[in-house]
Amino acid sequence: MTNPTFSPPLAPSIESGRSMKPRLLTASFGDGYNQRAPDGLNHMLETMTVAWSRLQPADAQTISAFFEARGGVEAFYWIAPRDAAPKLWLCESWDTGYPTQTHESIRASFRQVPR
C-alpha cells in the first residue's frame, strides 16, 4: 500500500513552526559526567505545528476529513513550507476553532516518520 499525499486547499498560516528534538541514549557517570549517543539511524526527526487560521468551512472539512481518514496511524507525504521535497508524516492530533462566524481554524501536530 502506498502512502497518500496531503494537498491542503490552502497553504498553512505563518504561525506554523518546526521543532527538532534528537532522540539520544544517555549514560550518566560519577562526578556529573554524561555520555550521549544517537538512538538509532533516524534520531533527527522533526515535529511541526501546522496551522490554518482563516478557512472557509468547506476547506476546513477537507483538511479534517483527510486527517480523520488516516486515523492517526497512517502516514502521508507532505511538502512542508520551505522544504524542497516531500517527507513522510503522521498527524496524531488536531484542533478545530471558530474564530469568526464565517471562518474556521485548524491547528495540527505533525510528527515526521522515518522512511
State the Cα–Cα distance between residues 55 and 104, nearest whole angstrom.
5
Strand (E) or helix (H) holding 18: strand 17-20
Q: Where are the beta strands (DSSP E) in 23-86?
A: 24-28, 34-38, 46-55, 76-78
pLDDT in tens, the chain (115 residues): 699 999 999 999 988 999 988 889 999 998 889 999 998 888 888 999 999 999 999 999 999 999 999 999 999 999 999 999 999 999 999 999 999 999 999 999 999 998 7
Residue position matching grid coordinates 507525504: 77
Q: CB atoms < 10 A from the CB of 3, how many? A: 16
